Structure 1
C-alpha cells in the first residue's frame, strides 16, 4: 500500500509554510482529516493497520483515541478489529475520559491516533486510561512523522519521542519532513508567513 500516494490523492499531503502544534515550522503538513472524509479510504487504511497489529499477536479489548484528530482513525480501527471504542478529550486543557465511558481494571487498551508526531497526545490519553485501571498494550496511527520508532521500520526514535519503549507502536508509513525553529526557518527568511492548518488552537 502506497500510503503517501493515498495522502497525495486526497490533497492531504500539503506543501506550503506551516505552523505546527509544537510551535515549529515545516514546509509540509499531513492533514489526515482529508483522507478520512472518504469512508472507503478510511476503511481500507484501518483494515491494513488492523492486519499489522493482528500479526503482532497482542491481546486488545478496547481502542482509545485522543480527540479530535484520532477519533475517526480509532473508530475505524476498532471496527476493523471488532473491538470497543472510546475516546479521551481535553477539558480545560487536561485530557480526560468522560461521556459515560468506563475502563475496567486490567482492560487491555490500544491507543490510536491519526498521526503520531512525538506521541504527546496519545501518551496523555494512555495515562488517563491507566489511571482508570486500564493496561496499555500498544499505540497505533495511520502515519508516523518519524520521531518515534514503529514496528517494521528502520527509522530510529528521536529524543523528542514521548511514547514508552515497552509498548509496540504500529503505523502504516513514515513521513519524515524537515522541521525548523521559527528563528531558523528558511521560509520565514524568504518573507513567508506560517499558518496553522490543524485542529488544535484553531
Structure 2
C-alpha cells in the first residue's frame, strides 16, 4: 500500500561534509576521554573539569541525531484535498494572567487563528481563560469586531502574515511592497480606524485593572 504524503523530502547536498565533521568531533571527544582516563589526578579541580567536559560531551552527542541526516521539506500543495474533504480543526488558545500575558497579545493570537487560510465552517477557535479575567472577556468582544473586518481584508488581498501585530509592524513591511493603491488605502483604513482603535480600548483597561 502506497504511503500518501503532503510534502517532499530532499537530503541536503552537504550531507557527506556534515557527517565527516561529526565524525571528526567524535574522535576529538574520544581522545579527550582517553586523556582524562590515562592521566588520573584525583583532585578537586580535576574532578570538576572532568565532570564539566563529560556533561558537555554528552549534550553534544545527544544533539547529533538531529544533524546526522539534515533534510529540506517542501509542501506539495497540489496533493492537498479539496476544502470539503478537509477535517474539522479545533484551536485552543489558553491564558490565565493578563499581567504576564498581555490581553492585546492574546487577542492577536486569537485573531490570527480566526484568519487562517482554512474553511471557516470547519474551523473552531476556543479561548480558555483559567483566571476568569474581565479584561479577557472585554478583549475577546473587541477582537471579534475587529476580525469581522480583518478576515475579509486578508482573504481579498491574500495576506500571508495574518497576525495584525506583525503585519502592521516593521517586520511585516516586506509583504506590503509592490501593492496596489487600493490595497494601501484599505490597509491604512484598517490600521488607523480599526486596529489602533482596538489597541486604544484594550490596552488602557489592561493597565487600569492591573
Band of TM-score, shorter chain: under 0.3
More helix by share: 2
Larger Rg: 2
